C-alpha cells in the first residue's frame, strides 16, 4: 500500500536576478541607520585606526561618529563657511579639511581648534588630503590650482596650475609620498609627481571628473564623471581598461571594498552599484536621495552613504552572532535536543529492531484532498494567510483539483463572501505568468457557474467589471507586444547574414514565451 | 568443431499475469499464476519467481489446485488441453486432450475426478456463447489421455470466468450472465434462476460482474456494474429468495472473494482499494487503499492469512491482514508509451510501470527491480480521468542522467507536459529529481536524445512547435551552488517545418535532426548547420548513425517504404532500399543495425551493417504484429558463436515488444544449452525462505567461505573444501538413500576436523599405531594423554637410533593438541 502523495508546490524561479555568492555577501547588511545632518554631505572618510570612526563633512561642520553611535562623538564647528573634504591622516590622529572661503584647516582629533591654517587659495577648496609621508598636505581648489603644503611650518611648498577648470577630485598615492592624482572639470585626470613638479600623465575622461580612486596596487586608476566610470591602467601609460555606464545620472563617488577590492560607485540617480572583478554589476543599494559621498569601513564592516538632503545612511554588516541572537530570542516550544533525542542512537549488531512506522504529516488541504473533500480543500487554500503570502500554494491546489476533474464541483455552491475572495484572488494574480493558465480556467468556470445569479450581488458584479476591464487592457498590451516582436523579428532577419537556417536568439524566444 | 546454432524467437515474459486469478498453494508457500502460455510459480516469502510450468502451446486460461492432491495443479489452455502438474518440481504429470479451446477450469472437493470447464459453443464462437461442461478424465497410466466424455452442466454462462462459482463445498454452482443469476443444484439436478431489472429508478446498472459463494453458508455474493454488492440468501426456494445490498464502490466491482472461514468478504474494483466486509455484520468494513492499478482478481490462501490481488497494471501484491508485503511480479504495463530502454548501470529494461512511474526490470533474473516515481502525484483511480503519463524517457550513455517527459491532456485541447531531468545519486542508488522544466516547448515533445560523449551531457528535444532545443547543465560561474541545473542552450528551427526525430553521432560531434523530408546536420559545438540531406518522397520516420567502423553513415527510414543510407563524408546517398521499416535499432556495441519491417501482416527482421548492402541475418515472419519498440541489451559475457548468422547476437541480445505487449527475444542454441544445464540443479534450493535451519547451516557455510579466503598454512587448506562437500552431499541426498546416521557421523565429524597430513608425512611408518589412535582423539582426549605418557616411559630404555627418532618426534608440532585439550571443559 503506497502512502498518500502530498501535493507538490512547484518552485518557480523568478526571471532576472541570479543569486550569486557576491549578491549574498552584499545583501548581508542590516537595514540602514539614518542620521540627519545640517546640509548636503560632501565627504565621508573612515579613520584607518580601529575602532574606525568616520568623519562626515556637511555644511559648516565636520562630525566624527563612532562605528555604532548615532550621535557624533566629536564635532569641528569652527568654520565660517561650508566645509569640504574632511580627511584623516594615515595614523588617524590628524584631520584636514578645506572650505568655501579657501582656507585649509588642520585639526587634531582630540582638540577643537585648528592646529594649522593654510592660506593661499583664492577660491573654495573642495579636496584636501595628506600625502602618504604624513608631513605634507595636498589640496585642489576652484582657483584651478593644486597646492602642496608643509604641515610643520604651514607654508606652501608648490603650486601646480595645469588644470583649466575646477579641481574636484584628488587621490594621493599610498606607496609613493610624491605622487598624487587629480581630476578636474576640464575632463582630464592628471598624475602629478612632486619630484618633477609637474604632471607626468594625463588621461581624457571625457566628462567633468567627480572622483578619482587608486587601487591599492596603484596599477589601476578609477575616475568617475558624467554617467561614466572609467578604469585606467597606469602601468600601460594610462590606457583605458574599461568604461562602465551603469548609472543614469552623474556618478559622484566611488570607493573600494577592502575584501577583494570590489568597486562601489554612487550616483545622483540614488543607487550604489557594486561591481565584481570583471566589472559586472553584482549588487545595487537603493537610497532615498541623490548620493554625493560614500565610504566603506575597513573589512566592509559598514557602508556610509551621504546624500543631498543631508541624510547620512549607515549600513552595518550583519554577523552570524546577531543572527543567532535573533533566532534564540524568537525560539518557542521544545528545544532542538527534544527532537533529536534518540535519533542518533546506533543499534548494535544483535539488537532486535522494531521499526515504528513513520507518521506522514500532511497539510490541511492535503488531508482534505485525501478524503476527497474538494470544496473544503479549496477553502483551506483560499484562507487569507495562504492567499496573500503564498499564492503559489493556492494555485497548486487549484491545479490539483483540476487534475482530479473536480474543480467545477469545488467552485460550485459558494456564497457572496467566498466568491469575492476568489474573484479578488483572480484580480491580483491572473497576470502572473506563473499562475495565469489555471486562474483563467477558474475564471471561466466561475462565469459558467454563476452566470444567472451575478446581478443579485452588487459586490460581485463590480469585481467582475473590474476583471473584465483588466483583462481587456492586458489583451491590448499583449497585442502590442506581439507587434513589437514582429518588428524585431524583421530587424533580426535583415541583420543576420543570409543562411538557410535561422537560429533565433534565445532571449527573443523567452520573451515570446512569456507573451504567449 | 563449429557448433550449429539455430536462432529462434523466444518469449521472455512481459505477457500478462492478470488474465486469470492467481492461486496460493495450500501451505501458502507458492503463488501460481497463468502468464501467456506458461504457469509461473512464485515464492510467497522471497517474492521471487521460482520456475515456470512449460508445455502449453497457447494462452493458459485457467489454473486450479487438484483437490485430491494439494501438490498438483490443473491448468487449462486455449490449445484444448488440460494438464496436471507437480508444481513444486515443475513436472508434467498428465495431459488430457479435450479438443476444444478451453476458457476456464473449476474443480470442487465434492466432485473428485471431475473437471468443470468453460468451452466455447462449437458452432459459432463469435456469439460468445459458452458452455460449462463436466469432464471425467479417464484414469490411465499414459501421459497423454484423450478425454471425450463430457456432460453439459449449463449452456448459459458468461464469458467472464469470475461469474461462476461453486457454493458450499460443491453442493451447487452459481453462475451469472448479464442480468440473470442461475444456481444449479447438483443433488436435485435443478436450476433456479433469478433476474434483475436492467435499470432501476436511480439509473443503476444491474448487470452482474462477478460472483462468490460463501464456503459454509448458503449465501451468494454478487458484484454489479454500478458498484453494488448483493448478498443472496434463501435461494433454494425459487420464490422466497431475499437479497441485501451494500454499496461502497463507485464503479464496477471487479472481483469478490470469501475468506476460507467465511468470516469476511473481500471486494475490489477500479479504485484500487481492497475492501474487507465483515460477513453478517452489515456495513462494517475495512480498507486497504492505493494498492497499485485497479484490482482485477483476489484470491485467499487456505489459512486465510494471505491474500493475493492482481492488478490491471500487471502487478501482483500480497497482503497479509494488516501487514502489507508489496510483491511486484513481472510486468509490462498495459500501455508502453516510452521506448524500450536499457539502464546502463543495472542493465535493466526500463519502460512504463505503474501509472506515472518508470519500472526497472531486470531481464537476467526476470525480476522487477523497482518503480521510479516520475509524476510524483497522487494517482486518482477513476474511469475516464485524464492523468499524467510518462511518454518519453532517455538515458545518457553512463546512466547518470535520465530525462523524462510526462504529459496530460492528450485528448482535450489544453496539453500539459513537463520535462524532468533526474540525476543518479550514488548514495541512495536511485535517481533524484534535478530539474523540472514546465514549458520546455510550446507544443508536444516528439523525440529527445542525449549526446553520447563522455565529457559533457547535452539533451536535445524536438517538438511539434517546429523547434528543437538543446539543454545543458548550467555551468554558470556566477551561481556557485552545489547543484547544477539544466537550462536551454540553443533553439533551432528549419523553415518552420515540424521536426520528427533527432540523433547524435557516436562521438556526438554531429547532431542530425530531421524536419519532415529533410535531415539537417548540426555541429553541437558551434551550433552551425553543416548540411542538409533530403530524399524527397516521404517524411523521415527513424534516424540513426552508424557505430564504430561505420560511423560515417547515417541511416534513415521514411514513411514511403524507403530505407536510406547516407555517407556523411561525401554527403551523398550511399544506398537505399525499398523496405517498409517500422523500427530501426542500432546496436551500441557493434556496427549492426536491426530493422523490423512490417509487410503483409507479418514482421520481418533484417540485421545489417551500414557499410554492406547485404543483410547479415534475415528472419522472415518473426511475429504477426507490428514491432514498434526494440532494444539491444548488452550481454554480461559475450558468446563465442562462430556461425555467421548468429554472430550479431554475440555481444548483445535483441529484445522487442509487439503490439500485444509480448516481450520477445532471439536465443541461440548455445545459450539454450547453457540454460538447460543450469536449470538441472534444484531450483527451489536457492530461493526458499530463511528458516532457522538455513540460518544455522548458512552461517556455517559463510564461515567456511571466510576461512577459505584467508591465507592459511598449506597444511589444512585442502581439508576445508572437502568438509563443505560432505555437508553438501549430506544435504542434497534424499534421506531414504542415506546410510545409517552412525556411519555418517564419523564421516561428518572427520570432515570438520583439522587434520595434520603435512606432519604425518614426516613421521615414520612406525608411528602408524599412533596415527590410528590420532583418529580417535576427537572422541577421547584423556586416552590420548595416557598414550603419550606411555610413550615417554618406553623411551627410557631405548637405543641411540631410537633416541634420535624420538627427538624428531618431539620437534614435531603438537600445539594443535593443546588447543584441543583446552577446548574440553
- Whole-number Cα distances in Å, A396 to A390, A393, B55: 10, 5, 54
Q: Is B327 exposed, middle or buried (0-12, 13-18, 19+ CB in 10 A)?
A: buried
- B288, B382, B493 member nearest A1 (Cβ): B288
Residues of B in contact with A4 (CB under 8 A): 290, 378
Take residue A421 and report the three cell numbers written for it: 475572495
Contact A239, A221 (CB under 8 A): no
Residues of A in contact with B376 (CB under 8 A): 5, 8
Residues of A in contact with B479 (CB under 8 A): 18-20
**For B78-116, what is each residue's pLDDT tens digit?**
888 888 888 888 888 888 888 778 888 888 877 777 888
Q: How many residues are there in chain B?
A: 825
Cα end-to-end span (Å), chain B? 64
Q: Which residue of B has its CA nearest to A278?
A: B478
Contact A106, A114 (CB under 8 A): yes
Q: What are the phi and psi torsion angles at B436 (to 5°)?
A: -115, 125
Question: Cis omega (within 30 of 0) on the bond before B24?
Answer: no
**For A421-452, what is each residue's pLDDT tens digit?**
999 999 999 888 888 888 999 999 999 999 88
Rounded distance between C-alpha atoms, residue B471 and residue B261, angstroms: 61
Greatest alpha-carbon pair distance for chain B in Å reads 121
Residues of B in contact with A7 (CB under 8 A): 377-378
Q: If you search the block for the grid coordinates 568617475, which residue do you land on?
A: A224
Contact B445, B392 (CB under 8 A): yes
Contact B574, B567 (CB under 8 A): yes
Question: 3-state SS of A114-135?
Answer: EEEEECCCCCCEEEEEECCCCC
Buried b (16+ CB within 10 A) or exposed e, A105-114: bbbebeeeeb
Take residue A322 and report the three cell numbers written for it: 546577531
In angstroms and rounded to an integer, the radius of gyration of the C-alpha atoms of chain A is: 32
A503 touches chain B (CB under 8 A): yes
SS3 B334: coil
Strand B663-667 relative to strand B8-11: parallel, antiparallel, unpaired? antiparallel
Give the residue extent of every domain in chain A. Answer: 29-318, 365-493
- Output the CA torsion sign for A316, A313, A100, A254: positive
Q: Which residue of B has its CA nearest to A4?
A: B378
Rounded distance between C-alpha atoms, residue B299 and residue B303, angstroms: 12
Region for B731 from its dihedrals, namely left if φ exceeds 0, alpha if ψ lies in -120 to 50, beta otherwise: alpha
Residues of B in contact with A404 (CB under 8 A): 380, 382, 385
Domains in chain B with CATH codes? 17-331 (2.130.10.10), 349-439 (no CATH)
Q: If you search the block for the grid coordinates 616411559, which residue do you land on?
A: B793
Residues of A in contact with B414 (CB under 8 A): 437
Interface predicted TM-score of the whole assembly (ipTM), two decimals: 0.71
Rounded distance between C-alpha atoms, residue B40 and residue B53, angstroms: 6
B484 touches chain A (CB under 8 A): no
Contact B208, B252 (CB under 8 A): no
SS3 B738: coil
- Confidence band of A483 (pLDDT split at 50, 70, 90): very high
pLDDT at res. A488: 93
SS3 B403: strand
Residues of A in contact with B520 (CB under 8 A): 501
Rounded distance between C-alpha atoms, residue B542 and residue B473, angstroms: 27
Residue B421: which of B458, B384, B454, B368 has the closest Cα?
A: B458
pLDDT at res. B353: 73
Q: Where are the alpha helices (DSSP H) in B684-814?
A: 684-687, 692-709, 719-732, 741-752, 757-762, 768-776, 781-795, 800-811
Q: Do B520 and A501 touch (CB under 8 A)?
A: yes
Lowest mean pLDDT among A323-332, A369-378, B171-180, B332-341: A323-332
- Confidence band of B120 (pLDDT split at 50, 70, 90): confident
- Confidence band of B314 (pLDDT split at 50, 70, 90): low
- A5, A12, A504 member nearest B377 (Cβ): A5
Q: What are the phi and psi torsion angles at B673 (to 5°)?
A: -60, -45
Residues with Cβ within 8 Å of A66's Cβ and at least 6 positions away in sequence, in order, are A51, A53, A73
Q: Do A500 and B532 touch (CB under 8 A)?
A: yes
- B324, B378, B490 member nearest A1 (Cβ): B324
Q: Higher model confidence: residue A153 or residue B302?
A: A153
A500 touches chain B (CB under 8 A): yes
Q: In angstroms, what separates the C-alpha of A482 from chain B's closest C-alpha?
A: 16
The predicted model scores a pTM of: 0.66
- Output the CA torsion sign for B559, B565, B569, B571: negative
pLDDT at res. B14: 54
Sheet of strand B242-247: strand arrangement:
B208-213, B219-224, B228-233, B242-247
**For B723-751, what is each residue's pLDDT tens digit?**
566 666 667 666 666 667 777 777 777 77
pLDDT at res. B744: 74
Rounded distance between C-alpha atoms, residue B211 and residue B157, angstroms: 12
- Confidence band of A505 (pLDDT split at 50, 70, 90): very low
Rounded distance between C-alpha atoms, residue B460 and residue B491, angstroms: 10
Take residue A108 and report the three cell numbers written for it: 587634531
Q: In angstroms, what separates the C-alpha of B161 from chain A's closest C-alpha?
A: 27
Region B561-581: what's the mean pLDDT?
Answer: 85
Residues with Cβ within 8 Å of B209's Cβ and at least 6 positions away in sequence, in order, are B160, B162, B163, B223, B224, B225, B252, B253, B254
The yes-or-no verdict on residue A334 having pLDDT over 90 is: no
**For B414-465, what is each residue's pLDDT tens digit?**
788 899 999 998 888 889 988 888 888 888 898 999 987 777 788 999 998 8
Long-range contacts, stretch A178-185, CB < 8 angstroms, 24+ apart:
A178/A131, A180/A129, A180/A131, A180/A138, A181/A212, A181/A214, A181/A221, A182/A127, A182/A140, A182/A146, A182/A212, A183/A209, A183/A210, A183/A211, A183/A212, A183/A223, A183/A225, A184/A140, A184/A144, A184/A208, A184/A209, A185/A209
Rounded distance between C-alpha atoms, residue A171 and residue B633, angstroms: 73
pLDDT at res. A423: 92
Q: Which CATH superfamily is domain A29-318 in?
A: YVTN repeat-like/Quinoprotein amine dehydrogenase (2.130.10.10)
**For B475-520, what is each residue's pLDDT tens digit?**
554 454 555 788 888 898 888 889 988 998 888 888 999 988 888 9
The yes-or-no verdict on residue A63 having pLDDT over 70 is: yes
pLDDT at res. B698: 57
Q: Which residue of B has its CA nearest to A401?
A: B380
Buried b (16+ CB within 10 A) or exposed e, B88-125: bebeeebbbebebbbbbbbbbeebeebbbbbbbeeeee
- Output the CA torsion sign for B3, B7, B8, B14: positive
The residues facing B435 across adjacent strands are: B421
A152 touches chain B (CB under 8 A): no
Cα end-to-end span (Å), chain A? 42
Amino acid at each position: 500500500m503506497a502512502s498518500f502523495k502530498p501535493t507538490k508546490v512547484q518552485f518557480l524561479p523568478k526571471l532576472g536576478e541570479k543569486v550569486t555568492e557576491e549578491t549574498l555577501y552584499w545583501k548581508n547588511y542590516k537595514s540602514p541607520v539614518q542620521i540627519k545632518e545640517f546640509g548636503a554631505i560632501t565627504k565621508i572618510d573612515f579613520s584607518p585606526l580601529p575602532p574606525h570612526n568616520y568623519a562626515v563633512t556637511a555644511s559648516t561642520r565636520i562630525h566624527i561618529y563612532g562605528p555604532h553611535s548615532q550621535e557624533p562623538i566629536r564635532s569641528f564647528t569652527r568654520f565660517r563657511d561650508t566645509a569640504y573634504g574632511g580627511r584623516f591622516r594615515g595614523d588617524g590622529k590628524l584631520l584636514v579639511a578645506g572650505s568655501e572661503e579657501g582656507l585649509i584647516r588642520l585639526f587634531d582629533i582630540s582638540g577643537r581648534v585648528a592646529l594649522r591654517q593654510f592660506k593661499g587659495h583664492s577660491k573654495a577648496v573642495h579636496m584636501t588630503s595628506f600625502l602618504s609621508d604624513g608631513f605634507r598636505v595636498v589640496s585642489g581648489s576652484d582657483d584651478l590650482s593644486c597646492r602642496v603644503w608643509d604641515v610643520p611650518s604651514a607654508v606652501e611648498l608648490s603650486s601646480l596650475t595645469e588644470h583649466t577648470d575646477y579641481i574636484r577630485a584628488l587621490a594621493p598615492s599610498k606607496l609613493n609620498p610624491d605622487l598624487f592624482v587629480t581630476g578636474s572639470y576640464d575632463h582630464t585626470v592628471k598624475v602629478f609627481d612632486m619630484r618633477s613638479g609637474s604632471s607626468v600623465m594625463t588621461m581624457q575622461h571625457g566628462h567633468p571628473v567627480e572622483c578619482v580612486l587608486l587601487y591599492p596596487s596603484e596599477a589601476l586608476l578609477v575616475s568617475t564623471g558624467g554617467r561614466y566610470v572609467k578604469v585606467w591602467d597606469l602601468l600601460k601609460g594610462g590606457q583605458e581598461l574599461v568604461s562602465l555606464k551603469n548609472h543614469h545620472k552623474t556618478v559622484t563617488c566611488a570607493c573600494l571594498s577592502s575584501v577583494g577590492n570590489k568597486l562601489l560607485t554612487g550616483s545622483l540617480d540614488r543607487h550604489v552599484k557594486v561591481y565584481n572583478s570583471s566589472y559586472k554589476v553584482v549588487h545595487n543599494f537603493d537610497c532615498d536621495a541623490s548620493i554625493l559621498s560614500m565610504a566603506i569601513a575597513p573589512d566592509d564592516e559598514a557602508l556610509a552613504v551621504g546624500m543631498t538632503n543631508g541624510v547620512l545612511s549607515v549600513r552595518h554588516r550583519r554577523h552570524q552572532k546577531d543572527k543567532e541572537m535573533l533566532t534564540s530570542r524568537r525560539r518557542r516550544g521544545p528545544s532542538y535536543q527534544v527532537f533529536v533525542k534518540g535519533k542518533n542512537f546506533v543499534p548494535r549488531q544483535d539488537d532486535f529492531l522494531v521499526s515504528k512506522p513513520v507518521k506522514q504529516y500532511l497539510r490541511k488541504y492535503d488531508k482534505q484532498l485525501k478524503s476527497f473533500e474538494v470544496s473544503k480543500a479549496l477553502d483551506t487554500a483560499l484562507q487569507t494567510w495562504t492567499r496573500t503570502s503564498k499564492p503559489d500554494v493556492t494555485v497548486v491546489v487549484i491545479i490539483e483539483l483540476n487534475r482530479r476533474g473536480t474543480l467545477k464541483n469545488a467552485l460550485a455552491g459558494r456564497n457572496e463572501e467566498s466568491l469575492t475572495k476568489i474573484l479578488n484572488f483572480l484580480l491580483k494574480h491572473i497576470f502572473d505568468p506563473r499562475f495565469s493558465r489555471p486562474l483563467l480556467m477558474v475564471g471561466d468556470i466561475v462565469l459558467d457557474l454563476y452566470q444567472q445569479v451575478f446581478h443579485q450581488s452588487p459586490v460581485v458584479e463590480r469585481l467582475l467589471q473590474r476583471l473584465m476591464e483588466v483583462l481587456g487592457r492586458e489583451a491590448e498590451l499583449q497585442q502590442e507586444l506581439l507587434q513589437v516582436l514582429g518588428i524585431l523579428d524583421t530587424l533580426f532577419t535583415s541583420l543576420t547574414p543570409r543562411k538557410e537556417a535561422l537560429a533565433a536568439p534565445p532571449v527573443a524566444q523567452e520573451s515570446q514565451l512569456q507573451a504567449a | 568443431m563449429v557448433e550449429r546454432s539455430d536462432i529462434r524467437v523466444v518469449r521472455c515474459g512481459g505477457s500478462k499475469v492478470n488474465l486469470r486469478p492467481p492461486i496460493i498453494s495450500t501451505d501458502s508457500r507458492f503463488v501460481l499464476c497463468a502468464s501467456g502460455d506458461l504457469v509461473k510459480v512464485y515464492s510467497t516469502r522471497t517474492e521471487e519467481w521460482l520456475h515456470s510450468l512449460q508445455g502449453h502451446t497457447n494462452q493458459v486460461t485457467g489454473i486450479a489446485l487438484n483437490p485430491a492432491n494439494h501438490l498438483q495443479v490443473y491448468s487449462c489452455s486455449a490449445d484444448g488441453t488440460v494438464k496436471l502438474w507437480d508444481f513444486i518440481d515443475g513436472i508434467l504429470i498428465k495431459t488430457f486432450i479435450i479438443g476444444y479451446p478451453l476458457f476456464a477450469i473449476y474443480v470442487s472437493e465434492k466432485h473428485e475426478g471431475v473437471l468443470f470447464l468453460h468451452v466455447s459453443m462449437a458452432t459459432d464462437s463469435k456469439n460468445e456463447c459458452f458452455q460449462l461442461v463436466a469432464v471425467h478424465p479417464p484414469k490411465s497410466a499414459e501421459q497423454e489421455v484423450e478425454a471425450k466424455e463430457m456432460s453439459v452442466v449449463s449452456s448459459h454462462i458468461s464469458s467472464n470466468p469470475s461469474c461462476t462459482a461453486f457454493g458450499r463445498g460443491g453442493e451447487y454452482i452459481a453462475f451469472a450472465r448479464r442480468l440473470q443469476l442461475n444456481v444449479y443444484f447438483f443433488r436435485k439436478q435443478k436450476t433456479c434462476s433469478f433476474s434483475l431489472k436492467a435499470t432501476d429508478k436511480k439509473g443503476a446498472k444491474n448487470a452482474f460482474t462477478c460472483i462468490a459463494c460463501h464456503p459454509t453458508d448458503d449465501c451468494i455474493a454478487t458484484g454489479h456494474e454500478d458498484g453494488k454488492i448483493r448478498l443472496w440468501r434463501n435461494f433454494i426456494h425459487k420464490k422466497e429468495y431475499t437479497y441485501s445490498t451494500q454499496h461502497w464502490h463507485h464503479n464496477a466491482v471487479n472481483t469478490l472473494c470469501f475468506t476460507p472461514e467465511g468470516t469476511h468478504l473481500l471486494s475490489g474494483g477500479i479504485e484500487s482499494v481492497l475492501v474487507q466486509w465483515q460477513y453478517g455484520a452489515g456495513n462494517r468494513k475495512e480498507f486497504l487503499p492505493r494498492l497499485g492499478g485497479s484490482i482485477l482478481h483476489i484470491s485467499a490462501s487456505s489459512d486465510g492469512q494471505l491474500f493475493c490481488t492482481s492488478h490491471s497494471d500487471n502487478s501482483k501484491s500480497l497482503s497479509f491482514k494488516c501487514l502489507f508485503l508489496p510483491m511486484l511480479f513481472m510486468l509490462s504495463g498495459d500501455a508502453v508509451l516510452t521506448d524500450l530502454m536499457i539502464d546502463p548501470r543495472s542493465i535493466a529494461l526500463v519502460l512504463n510501470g505503474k501509472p506515472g512511474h518508470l519500472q526497472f526490470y531486470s531481464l537476467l533474473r526476470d525480476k522487477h527491480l523497482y518503480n521510479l516515481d516520475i509524476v510524483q502525484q497522487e494517482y486518482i483511480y477513476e474511469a475516464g480521468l485524464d492523468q499524467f503519463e510518462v511518454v518519453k524517457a532517455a538515458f545518457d550513455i553512463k546512466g547518470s542522467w535520465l530525462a523524462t517527459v510526462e504529459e496530460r491532456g492528450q485528448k482535450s485541447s489544453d496539453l500539459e507536459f513537463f520535462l524532468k531531468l533526474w540525476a543518479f545519486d550514488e548514495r541512495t542508488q536511485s535517481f533524484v529529481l534535478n530539474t523540472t522544466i514546465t514549458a520546455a516547448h510550446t507544443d508536444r515533445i516528439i523525440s529527445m536524445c542525449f549526446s553520447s560523449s563522455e565529457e559533457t551531457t547535452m539533451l536535445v528535444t524536438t517538438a511539434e512547435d517546429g523547434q528543437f532545443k538543446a539543454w545543458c547543465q548550467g555551468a554558470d560561474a556566477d551561481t556557485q551552488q552545489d547543484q547544477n541545473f539544466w537550462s536551454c542552450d540553443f533553439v533551432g528551427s528549419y523553415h518552420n517545418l515540424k521536426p520528427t526525430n533527432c540523433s547524435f553521432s557516436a562521438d556526438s560531434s554531429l547532431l542530425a535532426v530531421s524536419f519532415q523530408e529533410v535531415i539537417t546536420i548540426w555541429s553541437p559545438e558551434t551550433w552551425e548547420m553543416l548540411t542538409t540531406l533530403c530524399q524527397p518522397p516521404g517524411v523521415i520516420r527513424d534516424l540513426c548513425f552508424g557505430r564504430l567502423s561505420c560511423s560515417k553513415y547515417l541511416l534513415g527510414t521514411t514513411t514511403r517504404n524507403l530505407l536510406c543510407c547516407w555517407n556523411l563524408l561525401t554527403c551523398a546517398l550511399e544506398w537505399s532500399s525499398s523496405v517498409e521499416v517500422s523500427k530501426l535499432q542500432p546496436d551500441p556495441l557493434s556496427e549492426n543495425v536491426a530493422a523490423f519491417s512490417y509487410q503483409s501482416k507479418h514482421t520481418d527482421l533484417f540485421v545489417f551493417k551500414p557499410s554492406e548492402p547485404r543483410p547479415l541475418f534475415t528472419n522472415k515472419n518473426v511475429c504477426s504484429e507490428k514491432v514498434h519498440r526494440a532494444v539491444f541489451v548488452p550481454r554480461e559475457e559475450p558468446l563465442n558463436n562462430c556461425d555467421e548468422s548468429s554472430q550479431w547476437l554475440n555481444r548483445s541480445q535483441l529484445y522487442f515488444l509487439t503490439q500485444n505487449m509480448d516481450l520477445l527475444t532471439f536465443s541461440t542454441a548455445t545459450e539454450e544449452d547453457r540454460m538447460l544445464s543450469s536449470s538441472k540443479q534444484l531450483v527451489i534450493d536457492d530461493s526458499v525462505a530463511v528458516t532457522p535451519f538455513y540460518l544455522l547451516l548458512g552461517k556455517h557455510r559463510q564461515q567456511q567461505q571466510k576461512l577459505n579466503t584467508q591465507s592459511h598454512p598449506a597444511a589444512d587448506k585442502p581439508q576445508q573444501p572437502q568438509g563443505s562437500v560432505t555437508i553438501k552431499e549430506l544435504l542434497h541426498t534424499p534421506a531414504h538413500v542415506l546410510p545409517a546416521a552412525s556411519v555418517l557421523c564419523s564421516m561428518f565429524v572427520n570432515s570438520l576436523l583439522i587434520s595434520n597430513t603435512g606432519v604425518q608425512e614426516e613421521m615414520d611408518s612406525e608411528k602408524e599405531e599412533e596415527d590410528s589412535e590420532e583418529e580417535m582423539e576427537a572422541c577421547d582426549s584423556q586416552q590420548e594423554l595416557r598414550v603419550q605418557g606411555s610413550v615417554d616411559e618406553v623411551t627410557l630404555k631405548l637405543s641411540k637410533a631410537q633416541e634420535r627418532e624420538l627427538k624428531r618426534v618431539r620437534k614435531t608440532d603438537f600445539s594443535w593438541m593443546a588447543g584441543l585439550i583446552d577446548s574440553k571443559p
